[in-house]
Chains A and B, each alone.
Chain A
Amino acid sequence: MTRCLLNIDLGELPGEDEQLYALAHLANIACGGHAGDAASMRRALELCERHGTLAGAHPSYADREGFGRTALDVAPEVLRAQVAEQCGQLAALARERGVPVRHAKPHGALYHAANKSSALARAVVDGVVEALGTDVTMVGPGAGALRDAARAAGLGYAREGFADRGTLPDGSLIPRGQPGAVLTDVGQARDNTVRLATGGTVDTLCVHGDTPGAVTLAREVRAMMDALEHPPEPIGDSALRLVLPEAVDRGLAREALCALPGVRDAVITEAHACVYFDPATPPESPALVLTRLRVAPVAPVEHPLIRIRVRYDGEDLPKLAEHSGLSVEEVVRRHTAREYTVRCVGFLPGFTYLGDVDPSIACPRLPVPRTRVPALAVGIAGERTGVYPFASPGGWNLVGTALDFTAFDPTRGAVLHLGDRVRFEQVHP
């Protein structure tokens, strides 16, 4: 499946929510035709830069009173000049900031009018090219004059669908002003997203920034688009492996998955999450649960800090020091200098993968694992460190022994939890 991107019309209204920029892949920035001025364009460009959003122009009929919603009788040559002037203004401000402008989407009535008339479509395309050059993708309806004009001019073209617009049985949009034209129901927008993003007929989906509840709607649409991008991978018929989005709290991710009906357990590893269930009752949309967390408003989770006292007497310490080109004392200093986070609980009961280790003391695991590593041995493997809860086989480089520490409690389970913060403290013999 080719990647479907979310585009949002932005820079149109005062008091616009910054979160929309974080949710959009593409920002269509109002550039003075129906809305927007130099100040709003500067703000929009700054927010695009901050959130890694691709900035694009959103030209319109010159109609600020009517918000560009009415078709005006404008000669193609005039229209071309208006589009060029609007896009040019945005391009000039973007150049000041060093932000590229690589797409354009006509607004409102112009979007529809230009798609019906090849003369108007050519005028829009010519205006865009004059201001932005030919290394530009035009965003517009799936088929029609706009697409033909863009292709004829050698521009890229992204076919657009609307996540927040109701459709008639023939697939066309319900005209604005009629009941069901604009969807405010999150569930309907989600269904629309799945249908459109997987149907192969659109390259980008739009959520209107001025729809009531736009942020909530955009969040759900973006979460669904992200979830569709990485479908779950079955491991047999009783587990699904999911891609764990970056920057999601690992503990919250596990809790959210466990709360899904049908889920018996969930395990978080470095880059994945996995849900376990009875094969007859698999959970619905587990990936959406994770991607929703990614787009949720950031509520920092307080994780406790656990201090573990270590006697640095591990038998691999001298070899690790040699591998790192450091003294043993310096390896110990660097191992104790950082605060680690529990990234994964697994392998053995209570074993935790802590990261990241200072890259200068990271060391590959042993080529041949030891058949017996003593309980409470502290090891390093790659950029991870951890404490063996029991005597067991193991291939980590042993640097020390944890003192007064229990990694696993038979009544409560693992002592360290996902997201907990850990520091090692050196104890001299």
Chain B
Amino acid sequence: MTAWLEVVGLGAPATVQDGGRPGVMHHGVPPGGAWVPELLIAANRAVGNAPGAAAFEAFGRLELRARGRDVRVSVDGAAPTPLADGATLTVPAPTRYAVRYVAVDGALAVPEVLGGQGTLWVARLGGWEGRPLRTGDRLPLGPPATPGAAPSEADLSHLTEALDPAAPLRVLLGPDASRFGDAAVALLLGSTFTVSPSSDRVGQRLDGPPVPHGDEGAGTSRPMVRGAIQVTLSGTPIVLGPDHPTTGGYPLIAAVIRADWGRLGARRPGAPVRFQAVSLEEARYAWKSHPARPAGATSDPVPPILGA
């Protein structure tokens, strides 16, 4: 190990996360990826890394010491801070959003497991020894990256807009909305919920008026996706997070659109959440110009989804 970052102090749980594990859900492995992809991408970009490179996902204060070389560190896409070999940096607990991303040039060089480097705590794999970080952990670094162009003012304001803590979360109703009834859908769209403190990467629970449904689920398993909104028997909506079970039995009343996954992840416990129903076309339009959309993605005209 020629260079590494040492975790000197932690105020709350932190893990290694990246752009996720594409294409392994059929092994029962959740897609993973950053809780707020927009912030991970911005932080990586600021230090010249690939957008989905492995970085720290921290829910509280994080103290890091550079070892083996001088490094540059960006928090949430801000201009990089130089950190000399042996020096310590204290990243304060997030204030604006629920979480923050700390990227270092060259990225965290943790082993790749099933196509990703992120920590999957439910399966004890990926990241650093498959677990949340502890004081004293030493994480290897990749070779120094060429400094890139830090996100511009316009980029950062685009980001701020995407994560706007007051904006509604856009959802596509269904596919099981008919199993809830109009009253439940009206309640979901007309109420203000708050993010429950018992949320985690598996799902964000929402406190608020119970959403009724006379259906305890299929009993058999059905496919799930990040952003899908399940309702428990007690009426609590749970929005599935990046480490969601790949299958589940609860009916889905709606799903948060791709462009708003980060907007929800960024909400702190206790923050208000309102939902707004949009059409598939609106959802795709929002995603096309979104800061979390993979760079280099083509902007070909979107073909319609055929009846089949």
Contacts and interface: CB of A to CB of B under 8 A. Distances in A.
A264 B23 contact: yes
A393 to B, nearest CB: 10
A348 B30 CA distance: 8
Interface string B172-193: 1011000000000000000000
A144 interface: no
A286 interface: yes
A376 to B, nearest CB: 14
A129 B118 CA distance: 72
Q: Chain B interface: which size bin?
A: 35 or more
A255 B27 CA distance: 13
Interface string A283-294: 011111001000
Interface in A274-325: 274, 276, 278-282, 284-288, 291
Q: Which of A231, A233, A348, A418 has the most C-beta atoms of chain B within 10 angstroms of its own C-beta?
A: A348
A218 interface: no
Contacts of A413: 24, 27, 29, 114
Nearest to A345: B28
A282 B306 CA distance: 10
A357 to B, nearest CB: 13
B288 A280 contact: yes
B162 to A, nearest CB: 15
Nearest to B126: A410
Interface stretch (B97-105, B144-152, B241-249): B241-249
Nearest to B223: A274
Interface stretch (B79-87, B254-262, B267-275): B254-262
A189 B162 CA distance: 45
Interface stretch (B40-48, B205-213, B291-299): B291-299
Nearest to B247: A346
Contacts of A285: 306, 308
B221 A347 contact: yes
A232 interface: yes
A350 interface: yes
Nearest to B281: A237
B219 to A, nearest CB: 6
A198 B305 CA distance: 15
A353 interface: yes
A291 B31 CA distance: 27
A377 to B, nearest CB: 16
Contact of A408 (B31, B123, B299): B123
A411 B305 CA distance: 35
Nearest to A352: B28
Interface string B274-308: 00000010011001100001100111101101111
A347 B245 contact: yes
Contact of B22 (A234, A240, A265): A265
Interface string A350-381: 11110000000000000000000000000000
A371 B182 CA distance: 34
A286 B225 CA distance: 17
B287 A348 contact: no
Interface string B24-40: 11111111000000000
A258 B259 CA distance: 24
Contacts of A347: 28, 221, 245-248
Contact of A272 (B25, B120, B222, B299): B222
Given A232-B308, A269-B221, A276 B248 contact: no
B113 interface: yes
Contacts of A271: 220, 222
Given A235-B175, A349-B123, A414-B28, A273 B308 contact: no
A316 B52 CA distance: 45
Contacts of B30: 349
A132 B277 CA distance: 54
A67 interface: no
A345 B221 CA distance: 10
Contact of B308 (A278, A279, A288): A288
23 contacts: A234-B255, A235-B224, A236-B227, A240-B305, A241-B222, A265-B26, A266-B26, A267-B25, A267-B223, A270-B220, A272-B222, A276-B31, A276-B225, A280-B297, A282-B302, A346-B245, A347-B247, A348-B123, A389-B28, A408-B27, A408-B123, A410-B114, A414-B28
Given A237-B172, A265-B24, 11 more contacts: A234-B174, A238-B225, A269-B220, A280-B287, A281-B300, A346-B246, A347-B247, A349-B30, A389-B28, A390-B123, A408-B28
The 8 nearest A-B residue pairs measured at CB? A346-B247, A236-B255, A274-B223, A413-B27, A227-B308, A233-B175, A237-B283, A239-B225
